């Protein structure tokens, strides 16, 4: 009886997810249009913040050191302890741990955080503060998720408080 009920709910849940997926697809919006809008949004942000000398990396990530750290450089497999803010290009905060006493523990370049966040930390030295603009392919991707629309670029503000070398 329990297996039957569980299977019944599993099937109902699967059908519900499929229906939501179909309804949420807007055939009027094309991927090329979203990609073009994202590029334009990033260009507009850079133009309106032209006093910040962002360096465009080969991945498409834009990087700027607010404060160059004096400690060791972060490398793959190091453990970084950071304060961060994740923001939309409008500068509206999506998520942050600034204002708390708890740093985020990050295993550098091990794929456990957003790709742009990982990459950005590898350009930092302990004690450094940076601003990073990550296009969608280095953030939540071209599909987005429940909380983030597809093709949404993000700004990361990162303060690398402590670095534990591997």
| Domains along the chain with CATH numbers | 29-164 (3.10.50.40)
pLDDT over 90 (residue 8): no
pLDDT over 60 (residue 142): yes
Global confidence as pTM:
0.80
Q: What value does the mean pLDDT take over residues 9-13?
A: 56
What count of residues does the chain have? 166
pLDDT over 50 (residue 22): no
Joined tokens for residue 5? 């009920």
pLDDT over 80 (residue 143): yes
pLDDT tens sequence across 24-67: 555 556 888 999 999 999 999 999 999 999 999 999 999 999 99
pLDDT over 70 (residue 4): no
User: What is the spatial distance between Cα 165 and Cα 152, in angstroms, rounded to a whole number?
Assistant: 33
What is the 8-class DSSP label of residue 3?
Answer: H
Spatial contact of 152 and 136, defined as CB atoms under 8 Å apart: yes
pLDDT tens sequence across 72-128: 999 999 999 999 999 999 989 999 999 999 999 999 999 999 999 999 999 999 999
Kindly list the distances between the CA atom of residue 120 and the CA atoms of 99, 116, 117, 130, in Å, as whole numbers in the listed order. Answer: 21, 6, 5, 8
Q: Which of 38, 65, 49, 44 is nearest to 135 (CA)?
A: 38
Spatial contact of 105 and 79, defined as CB atoms under 8 Å apart: yes
Average pLDDT, the chain: 88
């Amino acid at each position: 009886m329990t297996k039957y009920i569980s299977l019944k709910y599993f099937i109902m849940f699967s059908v519900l997810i499929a229906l939501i997926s179909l309804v949420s697809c807007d055939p009027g919006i094309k991927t090329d249009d979203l990609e073009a809008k994202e590029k334009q949004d990033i260009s507009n942000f850079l133009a309106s913040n032209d006093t910040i000398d962002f360096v465009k990396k080969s991945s498409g990530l834009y990087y700027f050191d607010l404060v160059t750290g004096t400690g060791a450089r972060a490398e793959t497999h190091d453990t970084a302890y950071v304060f961060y803010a994740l923001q939309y290009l409008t500068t509206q905060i999506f998520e942050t741990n600034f204002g708390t006493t708890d740093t985020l523990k990050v295993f550098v370049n091990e794929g456990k955080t957003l790709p742009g966040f990982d990459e950005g930390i590898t350009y930092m030295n302990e004690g450094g503060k940076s601003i990073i603009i990550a296009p969608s392919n280095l953030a939540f991707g071209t599909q987005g998720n429940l909380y983030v629309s597809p093709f949404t670029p993000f700004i990361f503000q990162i303060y690398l408080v402590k670095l534990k070398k591997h």
